[in-house]
């Protein structure tokens, strides 16, 4: 789903809100949006993919691990 370290983010780096990665399926840029007190969402600028994740996910490594579990990646 997210290309690993496509823009040089290491696993322990805190998430930024823009350009967290490239969506492999469509090539769109993926950004993080704060959507509530408890959750953020990563969205694709091209295909409208939107994945909600808890705000306890704070780093790129957390996000990769969380997505892997949630979406059964790899």
Residues that bind Zn ion (CB under 5 A): 23, 26, 28, 44, 46-47, 49
Q: Which is nearer to Zn ion, 27 or 54 (CB)?
A: 27
**What is the b/e burial string over 30-68, where b = at least 16 CB atoms within 10 angstroms of the residue's CB?**
bbbeeeeeeebebbbeeeebebebeeebeebebbbebbe
Least Å distance between CB 20 and Zn ion? 13
* Closest distance to Zn ion from the beta carbon of 37 (Å): 27
Query: Which is closer to Zn ion, CB of 9 or CB of 23?
Result: 23
């Amino acid at each position: 789903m997210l290309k690993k370290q496509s823009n040089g983010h290491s696993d322990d780096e805190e998430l930024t809100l823009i350009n967290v990665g490239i969506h492999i399926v469509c090539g769109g840029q993926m950004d993080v949006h704060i959507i509530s007190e408890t959750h953020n969402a990563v969205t694709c600028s091209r295909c409208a993919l939107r994945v909600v994740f808890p705000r306890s996910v704070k780093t790129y490594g957390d996000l990769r691990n969380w997505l892997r579990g949630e979406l059964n990646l790899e």
